[in-house]
Structure 1
Amino acid sequence: MAKFLLTSTYTVEGLDGLRQDGGTKRAEVIRALIENSGGRMEAMYFGFGQYDTYVVCDLPDHTTAAALAVAIRAARGLDTRISPLLTAEEVDEALRIHVAYQPPGA
């Protein structure tokens, strides 16, 4: 499984739904969505700043992550972005791969 960070900002409609449902119910809905997609929610937090919610989860693959992002955004309650997360070991592995790159103008 791969680890992902879902960041979301509520739309006006989404905020109305949050006020009706409350935070606990919304967290349960997100946990069920992730688990029904074959994943596992590690943590969910609400925040005040650039994003309203932060979800750290494990998902089977990038295709599943994309499917979740599309489904959530299409419902129009949240503007959601999904970012893959890498462990330190995965970064070390990536750094061992030689990549030839020529920057513009070089």
Structure 2
Amino acid sequence: MPLYMTRFAYTPDALAALVKHPQNREDVLRALIEKLGGRLISFYYSFGTYDGLFIAEMPDETTITAAIFAVVSPGHIKSVETTVLLTTEQTMEAMRKAGTQTYPAPG
């Protein structure tokens, strides 16, 4: 199954609620991802533009999109960014395929 990395940032209200009443959001996310047929591989909090990130194995792009829609729909997430992750072997195969192609530059 494909791997996806999603970075997220909470709204100020969500952070205030979590400070006032700490909750393990990893368990909540894991339950959602498993219900959709995926697997949560890792979950981390971080400093900077994003408050955290997770890596999940999901059946396809539609399913990870459904998970993200479900996560952001309550309104406690202010931004989210999801990236498809490729293994080294997948990337090597892409390089081999690209090496057999030509594409003219403009001009």
Shorter-normalised TM-score: what interval? 0.7 to 0.9
Q: Distance in 1 between the 2:61 and 2:68 partners?
A: 11
User: Could you state the TM-score of these two structures normalised by the residue count of structure 1?
Assistant: 0.86
**3-state DSSP of counterpart to 2:31:** helix
Residues 21 and 91 (structure 1), Cα distance of their counterparts in 2 relative to 1, 3 Å cut: farther
For 2:56 and 2:5, the matched residues in 1 are separated by 7
Q: What is the aligned partner in structure 1 of residue 83 from structure 2?
A: 83
> Could you say which residue in structure 1 is the equivalent of 2:44?
45
TM-superposition CA deviations, 1:29-75 (whole Å, max 9, x none): 11111111111111100011121111011011111011112222222
Report the Cα distance in structure 1 between the residues aligned to 2:11 and 2:66, rounded to whole angstroms.
20
Poorly superposed stretches of 4+, deviation over 3 Å: none
Q: % of aligned pairs identical?
A: 33
The answer on whether the counterparts of 1:69 and 1:81 sit within 8 Å (CA) in structure 2 is no
Question: Which 10-residue stretch deviates more, 27-36 or 70-79?
Answer: 70-79
Matches within 5 A, 1:24-39: 25-39=24-38
2: CA distance between counterparts of 1:67 and 1:20? 29
**SS of the residue aligned with 1:57?**
strand
Say whether the 8 Å CA contact 1:8–1:53 is kept in structure 2.
Answer: yes
- 1:60 paired residue number: 59
1:83 aligned partner, one-letter code:
T
Relative distance call for 1:22 and 1:86 in structure 2 (3 A) is same
Aligned-partner residue type, residue 66 of structure 2: A
What is the aligned residue count?
A: 104
Distance in 1, matches of 2:26 and 2:62, equals 22
CA RMSD of aligned residues (A): 1.7
User: Helix, strand or coil: the match of 1:96?
Assistant: helix
1:20 Cα deviation from its structure 2 partner: 4.3
Compared with structure 1, are the counterparts of its residues 92 and 77 closer, same or farther at alpha carbon in structure 2 (3 Å cutoff)?
Answer: same
Shift of 1:77: 1.0
Unmatched 5+ residue regions in structure 1?
none
